[in-house]
């Protein structure tokens, strides 16, 4: 049975576990119909031109884990920001782990989507926010919506500054021969509130995993959101990450995406402006090798005047790896005084690595400042020679240049412990010890 047919059959089984009388069931039913009509995306679609899921979809993925699995903290400690105290939402094979988590309802809601989707006290919030900005025409988003049940629910009230970062971690144990999980996250940040969130998907062995994740983020007036995605999984893990962000008046949202591991990683990052004087920042670092594939697809929709967006993506490709950057800035007619910047820089190490870059500007306003730039090249041989002449071995010189190449992004990380962790991962990826404790 092909995976599409398996998903459609599994939805019938899923319906037996949920309340089909609820209003949410109509949302799920419409979503599965859209997926049935469109199926999984193919390279025939312009937005998927350089990314094929064919090899991934041949796996016989389990949709529902057969049993609840446990993990000891000591075995996964390295994946957490264990140097500092954080709120934690941890899921094992798609199931919430109360043992590893540290949730709260003390002034803020850091809890479960399953609770928010089923308990009456959350109904008003769910009706107002759930599936409101997610692309209802996107087949993979629709598939996630159809099966939406578990994930992170974060609601930060007005004027609240969350003192501790929030970690969202999804572990796959590999107890299934192949597993597909579909987490759904909903983040609501009230007026003048501030939150820092770190999200990670991590496999614990080499059995194939396909994660189809959807996150909706709502930043209200003057809210500040710093969101970090750490993607450093094993090379049999596949991640499709769909993130949708709606920003109100004077809000500031920054998303950092660090793509270091996995087989196929696809990041769809969409920003929607719903007020004036908004600031949107998208930054990313990709360092991959072997036959890994990372695809960044970004959209910033400037719909209102006096707003800014800044994109800066750095990519280092080794061996036969492939990178894709498709960044789109859309400026509507009403969005006068827009200031939008996009930069994508790529370094290819060797002759077999490939990058497909497609920066796009669609501007319908006449009083704007918009620019984009894209570079593709190799390491500066003059700089390499200069460093070697001063006694730095070639391997270390090469690593130092590549590390410096990424520093513009890493320097903007606002959580010191996360900044140190990312620095260690980069040094490890570059194959040298640059003074970090690896």
Cα angle 258, 314, 181; round to 5: 30
Rounded to whole angstroms, the Cα distance separating 172 from 79 reads 13
pLDDT given for residue 379 in this prediction: 76
pLDDT in tens, 129-140: 999 999 999 999
Res 317 pLDDT > 90: yes
pLDDT in tens, 112-130: 999 999 999 999 999 999 9
Structural contact between residues 175 and 143, judged by C-beta atoms closer than 8 angstroms: no
How many C-beta neighbours within 10 Å does residue 187 have? Answer: 24
If you average pLDDT over residues 154-183, what whole number do you get? 96
pLDDT given for residue 436 in this prediction: 45
Residue 64: which residues within 8 A CB-CB, separation 6 or more?
10, 13, 14
Terminal C-alpha separation, the chain: 44
Rounded to whole angstroms, the Cα distance separating 79 from 127 reads 34
Res 1 pLDDT > 80: no
Nearest to 264, CA basis, from 43, 24, 9:
43
Cα angle 319, 322, 324; round to 5: 150
Least confidently predicted of 15-19, 27-31, 356-360: 15-19
Give the DSSP H/E element, type plus range, for residue 35.
Answer: helix 23-38
Strands (E), 248-338: 252-259, 264-273, 279-288, 293-302, 308-317, 322-331
Rounded to whole angstroms, the Cα distance separating 2 from 380 reads 48
Mean pLDDT, all residues of the chain: 93
Rounded to whole angstroms, the Cα distance separating 176 from 171 reads 13
pTM recorded for the entire structure: 0.95
Rounded to whole angstroms, the Cα distance separating 302 from 254 reads 16
* Token pair for 58: 């041949």
Nearest to 236, CA basis, from 279, 161, 290, 297:
290
pLDDT given for residue 438 in this prediction: 33
Strand-strand pairing, 184-189 and 166-172: unpaired
pLDDT given for residue 51 in this prediction: 97
Q: How crowded is the C-beta side of 432, counted as CA atoms within 13 Å?
A: 15
Structural contact between residues 239 and 215, judged by C-beta atoms closer than 8 angstroms: no
- In what order do the strands lie in the sheet containing 339-348? 95-96, 87-92, 166-172, 194-203, 224-231, 252-259, 279-288, 308-317, 339-348, 369-377
pLDDT given for residue 17 in this prediction: 81
Rounded to whole angstroms, the Cα distance separating 84 from 255 reads 21
If you average pLDDT over residues 199-210, what whole number do you get? 96
Query: Can you say how many angstroms the Cα of residue 157 is from the centroid of all Cα atoms in its chain?
Result: 24
Structural contact between residues 367 and 398, judged by C-beta atoms closer than 8 angstroms: no
Rounded to whole angstroms, the Cα distance separating 240 from 212 reads 5
If you average pLDDT over residues 369-384, what whole number do you get? 84
Rounded to whole angstroms, the Cα distance separating 377 from 347 reads 5
* Token pair for 84: 């500092």
pLDDT in tens, 70-111: 899 999 999 999 899 999 999 999 999 999 999 998 899 999
Q: Is the dihedral of CA 288, 226, 252, 221 positive or negative?
A: positive
Q: Is the dihedral of CA 399, 82, 203, 324 positive or negative?
A: negative
Res 437 pLDDT > 70: no
If you average pLDDT over residues 404-425, what whole number do you get? 95
Structural contact between residues 317 and 323, judged by C-beta atoms closer than 8 angstroms: yes
Res 435 pLDDT > 60: no
* Token pair for 167: 């970690």
């Amino acid at each position: 049975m092909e995976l599409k047919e398996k998903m459609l059959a599994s939805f019938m089984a899923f319906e037996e576990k949920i309340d089909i009388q609820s209003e949410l069931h109509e949302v799920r039913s419409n979503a599965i119909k859209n997926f049935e009509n469109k199926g999984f995306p193919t390279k025939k679609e312009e937005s998927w031109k350089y990314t094929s899921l064919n090899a991934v979809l041949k796996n016989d993925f389990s949709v529902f884990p057969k049993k609840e699995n446990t993990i000891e903290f000591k075995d996964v400690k390295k994946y957490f920001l264990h140097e500092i105290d954080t709120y934690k939402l941890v899921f094992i094979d798609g199931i919430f782990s109360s043992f590893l988590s540290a949730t709260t309802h003390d002034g803020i809601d850091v809890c479960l989507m399953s609770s928010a989707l089923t308990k009456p006290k959350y109904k008003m919030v769910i009706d107002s926010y759930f599936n409101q900005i997610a692309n209802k025409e996107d087949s993979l988003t629709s598939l996630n919506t159809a099966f939406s049940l578990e994930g992170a629910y974060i609601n930060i009230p007005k004027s609240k500054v969350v003192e501790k970062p929030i970690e969202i971690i999804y572990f796959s144990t590999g107890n299934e021969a192949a597993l597909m999980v579909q987490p759904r996250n909903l983040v609501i940040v009230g007026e003048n509130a501030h939150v820092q969130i770190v999200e990670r998907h991590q496999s614990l062995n080499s059995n194939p995993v396909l994660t189809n994740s959807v996150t909706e983020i709502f930043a209200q007036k003057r809210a500040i959101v710093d969101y970090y995605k750490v993607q450093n999984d094993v090379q049999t893990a596949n991640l499709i990450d769909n993130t949708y962000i709606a920003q109100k008046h004077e809000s500031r949202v920054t998303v950092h995406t660090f793509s270091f591991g996995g087989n196929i990683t696809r990041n769809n990052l969409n920003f929607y402006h719903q007020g004036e004087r908004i600031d949107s920042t998208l930054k990313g670092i990709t360092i991959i090798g072997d036959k890994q594939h990372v695809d960044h697809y970004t959209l910033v929709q400037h719909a209102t005047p006096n707003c800014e967006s800044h994109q800066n993506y750095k990519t280092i490709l080794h061996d036969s790896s492939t990178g894709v950057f498709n960044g789109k800035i859309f400026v509507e007619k009403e969005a006068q005084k827009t200031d939008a910047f996009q930069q994508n820089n790529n370094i290819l190490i060797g002759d077999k690595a490939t990058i497909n870059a497609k920066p796009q500007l669609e501007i319908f306003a006449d009083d704007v400042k918009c620019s984009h730039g894209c570079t593709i090249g190799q390491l500066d041989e003059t700089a390499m020679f200069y460093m070697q002449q001063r006694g730095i071995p070639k391997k270390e010189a090469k690593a130092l240049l590549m590390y410096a190449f990424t520093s513009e992004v890493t320097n903007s990380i606002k959580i010191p412990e996360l900044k140190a962790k990312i620095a260690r991962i980069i040094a490890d990826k570059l194959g040298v010890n640059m003074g970090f404790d690896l």
